[in-house]
Amino acid sequence: MRDKADERLDHLFAAVRAERIDTAALEEYFETRLLARIREQRSESIPWYALAWRMVPAFAVVAATIAITTFTFAPTHSNDLLAALNADQDEMVSSSYLIGE
Amino acid sequence: MDCSASDISDDSLISAIRTGNDAAFAQLVGKYKRRVFGLAARFARDNDDLDDICQNVFIKVYEHLPSFRNDAPFEHWLTRVAVRTCHDALRSRRHEKNNVRLEDRAFEIQDNAEKARDEARQARETLKFALSLLSPNERLVITLMELEGLTVKETAALTDWSEANVKVRAHRARQALKRILEEHNAR
């Protein structure tokens, strides 16, 4: 149900709607100011954190390459004690040999 | 023959902007700046704020123009960008204390000739004060519907809220405005 407060509110809305806000002075040279700001933004150097963020895919590729290389060229386990010693796996293989694995 | 911006279609201007033509962008801005200024003036606190909001609107347009699809009119897309930017501006200042009382904004009426104009100005100041006490969502919805004259459906399309949500927020905003004005009258 509409009351006096509603009527007052509608009166205020109508008065504000009827009044044309004059923005003509601000609109002058707006394009010039806007384009100057866009050019300024373009010329600003990229901050280091933005650069680091953009480098994330490159870092991911490097990490993946290291992981693949590590698994691909990892030294294989050998049961031959002499061969293992020659291949610098002495500690691992000798411990396996001593505990009977 | 020289063509004004209104003679050139939006599609032609947008195609030119996508190729890096800044003059075409200036033409597009010139074509729609009045619409954006008119809308943003409902939310801005002063002229500096208004200029800032309008610049932000067109910077967003410039940055996101490559992702604009031609399946909707450009003006509709621009209005959505403008509404979102105004909403962001309202939200960014929601923690600012509103220490100005309505009584401090009272105008003196000089003579009868200016009376009608002063009444309208006073109504605007009263409403502006009451709107400044609303939440950003409530202010946005009541401004779009009551001052810009948009329907529930149009408001929902511009804000990405459901129609039911728009109705609820508009109702709450209206109740809050009535309460504020009643409190002011009681003083």
Cα separation, A10 vs A25, in Å, equals: 30
Q: DSSP assignment of A42-85, as one string? A: HHSPPPHHHHHHHTHHHHHHHHHHHHHHHHHTPPPP-S-HHHHH
Final residue belonging to a domain, choices B98, B120, B145: B98
Please indicate if any CB of chain B lies within 8 Å of the CB of A37. Answer: yes
Q: Has residue B137 been placed in a domain?
A: yes
Task: With a cut of 60, say whether residue A53 has pLDDT above it.
Answer: yes
Q: Has residue B1 been placed in a domain?
A: no
Of A15, A33, A35, which has the smallest distance from its Cβ to B120's Cβ?
A15
Q: Comparing B164 with A84, which gets the higher pLDDT? A: B164
Q: Has residue B62 been placed in a domain?
A: yes
Q: Other C-beta atoms within 10 Å of B19: how many?
A: 7
Total count of domains within chain A: 1
Note the pLDDT of residue B123: 82
Give the residue numbers spanning the domain of B172. Answer: 105-187
Give the residue numbers spanning the domain of A87. Answer: 4-98
Q: Has residue B2 been placed in a domain?
A: no
Contacts of A12 in chain B (CB under 8 A): 123, 126-127, 181
pLDDT tens figures, A71-80 = 887 666 666 6
Please indicate if any CB of chain A lies within 8 Å of the CB of B41. Answer: yes
Q: Other C-beta atoms within 10 Å of A94: how many?
A: 13
Contacts of B26 in chain A (CB under 8 A): 31, 34-35
- Token duo for residue B99: 């220490």
Same-domain check for residues B32 and B50: yes
Please indicate if any CB of chain A lies within 8 Å of the CB of B178. Answer: yes
Same-domain check for residues B79 and B132: no
Same-domain check for residues B15 and B94: yes
- CATH number of the structural domain spanning residue B170: 1.10.10.10
* Nearest residue of chain A to residue B184 (CA atoms): A5
Those residues of chain B that have pLDDT short of 70 are 1-6, 95-117, 186-187
Note the pLDDT of residue A41: 86
Same-domain check for residues B109 and B39: no
With CB atoms and an 8 Å threshold, state whether B123 touches A37: no
pLDDT band at A51 (very low <50, low <70, confident <90, very high): confident
Note the pLDDT of residue A42: 83
Burial class (CB in 10 A: 0-12, 13-18, 19+), B30: middle
Same-domain check for residues B146 and B83: no
Q: Comparing A98 with B156, which gets the higher pLDDT? A: B156
Q: Among B34, B168, B96, which Cα is nearest to A31's? A: B34
With CB atoms and an 8 Å threshold, state whether A21 touches B41: yes
- Token duo for residue A85: 């010693």
- Token duo for residue B29: 């801005």
Same-domain check for residues B82 and B118: no
Note the pLDDT of residue B71: 80
Same-domain check for residues B122 and B78: no
Contacts of A1 in chain B (CB under 8 A): none
For chain A, the C-alpha Rg in angstroms (whole number) is 37
